[in-house]
Structure 1
Amino acid sequence: MSLDTLSLLLAALTLSIGVWGFREWAVGALDRRDLASRSALDEVERRANSPLARLDALIRPTDIGTKIEQRLRAAGLKMKISVFMMIVAVACVVAVVFLWRALAPIFGILAAVGVVAGIFGYLKRQEERRKEAFTAQLPELARVLSNATQAGLALPTAIDMAAEELDDPAGSELRITARAMQLGQPFEEAVADLRDRMPSREIGVLISTLLVASRSGGALVTALRNISETLDSRKETRREVKTILGESTATAYALLGMGIGSFFLVNALMPGSIQNMTESTVGFIIILVALALFTVGFLAVLRMTKIDF
């Protein structure tokens, strides 16, 4: 199969997926017009029978579907598993076609790997941002729980009240915990699930204090107030450290961008040079070494600027 034929097939596949996505959007737009005249049961049934819902039902029970769903929820992205996988597939096809034609076939293959790694890297970054936002709300959470318990409320009731007062992500996570306790889950298991969803040292200290208070009692109000003051100090320290390391982190991404951009620059100055290098054993090895060096440099800078609090 020639290069042009393969490129046409990949382009046709991308166009087909795009047309299908546009059709789903158009059908949804038309259906929303008569949403007011539908009953809630009819709307639920219609959504359950949609192609994306059926695809979700097939993917969700699998191991990869379960992991993707957990990561999407942890990142705070309200997206169906099928939609996420379609985005990954379309992005891979577009990257393969573009770099295959612009540089060389080997770069098309590497582009697919890079796109998948980039998307899941973005997903991990969103998880970290949401966890950091939750950690930043912990001082306020400790104050709300302290005031509620001082007023004589039980811990489950105090958590339910905190879920209503705090913004997301703390509000949504606490609502999950409060609803689990309302459905009969023990307090210890519910808060342990919260710690598993948002793991950090700060939430570990807060949950441990709540668990000790629920089992043996004690001066919970005083402990929560002390924790609130400590968490405020840690939040300021984390903010200062992130500000100091921001320049180094930007350098890592600039290094990666320079590495990728250098291939396009060389190919623009000498058209076809990258293609010729991939057809030569020595040139191919040079390209692999260059890619490896830029990747190692990027990962090394990120690792050096990563500090565990």
Structure 2
Amino acid sequence: MSIALIITVVGTLVIFMLAMGVISFIRADRDDADRKVKDRLRQFAMTEVETQSFDLLLAQSSMSQVPWFNRMLSKMQIASNISRLIRQGKSKGTTGTYLLLCALLGMIGAYVGIMVADRLWIAVVLAGLLGYVPILYLRKRKESRMTAFHKQLPEVLDLMSRALKAGHTFGGAMRMVSDEFDDPIGGEFRQTLDEINFGMDVDRALDNLLERVDVADLKFFAVSVNIQRETGGNLAEIVSNIARLVRERFVLFGKVRVLSAEGRLSALLLSALPFITAGILYLINPGYMSLMWTTELGLNMSYGALFGMTLGIICMRRMVNIKV
């Protein structure tokens, strides 16, 4: 059996499973969700009030609507990572759907590599690149949402500081944030406040907030609140200092971006220059440039050049990506 036939068969199975997952996702109606919530609330009502019992009220989401597939995904670390990306980016769909989509795109890349280039290593590279596209989409969604959260954080901390100075409790200050600010920070603080109101410890609720939000500056706030609750101190002043620290980090990050702008622009030009040069040479002399993909030596040179350029782009990106 040829590799192309194997890829076709496996791709067909993946498409079928992906279609079944999408159909089950569309047919998931609200009545089923209401029934699950009522069952969990009923279980909570019959359970003794302990710290562990409040887990019954936490949001639970399955990785797939197919039971056996959901059980299989629950044991995979990559599925857990994708599920976290979905939560952090507020993306639609389930973990199983994205994994099947990765498999489908990977099969398409492998098929194109085998049928067009007739090289196994090209099929592997294309499968990896296309299979990573859904993960890249989830990462972009997450980064966009976390950036919006980060931009809102200084104003939120200032509001909480003023509320605490005015005599409000910590819960009241969080309620003001959830009412005054839009998503993402308003929704995340609202969920944390709901967990605290249901009886969860503040430390654990803030840890859950850090799990949902991947922002380094938020850790300063959570750790400071936890330490203040154990040792005492002026929480309003602590929150105000954290807000000033976050703003100073924003200023430093802006300076770093300005100083590294030349390096980033040079990396962009160096990455685009070979393609621009090849395009101009092809317009001037098509027969001369066509040797790069019509002869065996030209193809090998092209593949080697692409590989070297990829390594160069990765190195330049790491050089200009300065952490603050």
Q: What interval of TM-score do these two structures reach, taking the shorter chain for normalisation?
A: 0.7 to 0.9
Counterpart of 1:235 in structure 2 is: 250
SS at match of 2:125: helix
Contact 1:163 1:171 in 2 (8 A): yes
Instruction: String of CA shifts for 1:183-205, please: whole Å, max 9, x gaps.
Output: 43322232234335445442233
In 1, the alpha carbon distance for the partners of 2:275 and 2:122 equals: 11
Counterpart of 2:115 in structure 1 is: 101
Instruction: String of CA shifts for 1:92-140, please: whole Å, max 9, x gaps.
Output: 1112222333333231121112234554445444433333322211111
In 2, the alpha carbon distance for the partners of 1:126 and 1:254 equals: 27
Counterpart of 2:4 in structure 1 is: 7
**Deviation for aligned residue 1:78:** 3.1
SS at match of 1:308: coil
**TM-score scaled to structure 2, two decimals?**
0.70
Count how many residue pairs are aligned between Structure 1 and Structure 2: 295
* Gap change, CA 1:25 and 1:220, over 3 Å in 2: closer
Matched AA of 1:62: M
Of 105, 110, 116, the residue aligned with 1:91 is: 105
**Deviation for aligned residue 1:88:** 0.3
Contact 1:141 1:162 in 2 (8 A): yes
Instruction: String of CA shifts for 1:212-251, please: whole Å, max 9, x gaps.
Output: 4323433332333343344334334434544664675476
| Mapping for residues 1-309 of structure 1, pairs under 5 Å | 1-2=1-2, 6-7=3-4, 9-11=6-8, 13-14=10-11, 17-18=14-15, 21-22=18-19, 31=27, 40-41=34-35, 52=66, 54-105=68-119, 106-239=121-254, 241-242=256-257, 245=260, 248-249=263-264, 252=267, 269-270=290-291, 273=294, 276-277=296-297, 289-309=304-324
Matched AA of 2:77: D
Contact 1:14 1:93 in 2 (8 A): yes
In 2, the alpha carbon distance for the partners of 1:7 and 1:297 equals: 32
In 2, the alpha carbon distance for the partners of 1:150 and 1:38 equals: 45
Instruction: String of CA shifts for 1:151-200, please: whole Å, max 9, x gaps.
Output: 32322342244233322222233234223323433222322343354454
Counterpart of 2:53 in structure 1 is: none
**Deviation for aligned residue 1:294:** 1.8
* Gap change, CA 1:15 and 1:258, over 3 Å in 2: farther
**Deviation for aligned residue 1:16:** 5.5
Instruction: String of CA shifts for 1:44-99, please: whole Å, max 9, x gaps.
Output: 99x98x85465234312433322221232233323311101011011111122223
In 2, the alpha carbon distance for the partners of 1:254 and 1:56 equals: 46
Q: CA RMSD in A?
A: 4.3
Give 5+ residue unaligned stretches, structure 2. Answer: 40-60
The percent identity for this pair of structures is 19
Contact 2:196 2:205 in 1 (8 A): yes
* Gap change, CA 1:173 and 1:248, over 3 Å in 2: farther
* Gap change, CA 1:41 and 1:210, over 3 Å in 2: closer
Contact 2:293 2:302 in 1 (8 A): no
Contact 1:103 1:272 in 2 (8 A): no
Matched AA of 2:250: K
In 1, the alpha carbon distance for the partners of 2:238 and 2:33 equals: 50
**Deviation for aligned residue 1:142:** 0.3
Matched AA of 2:79: G
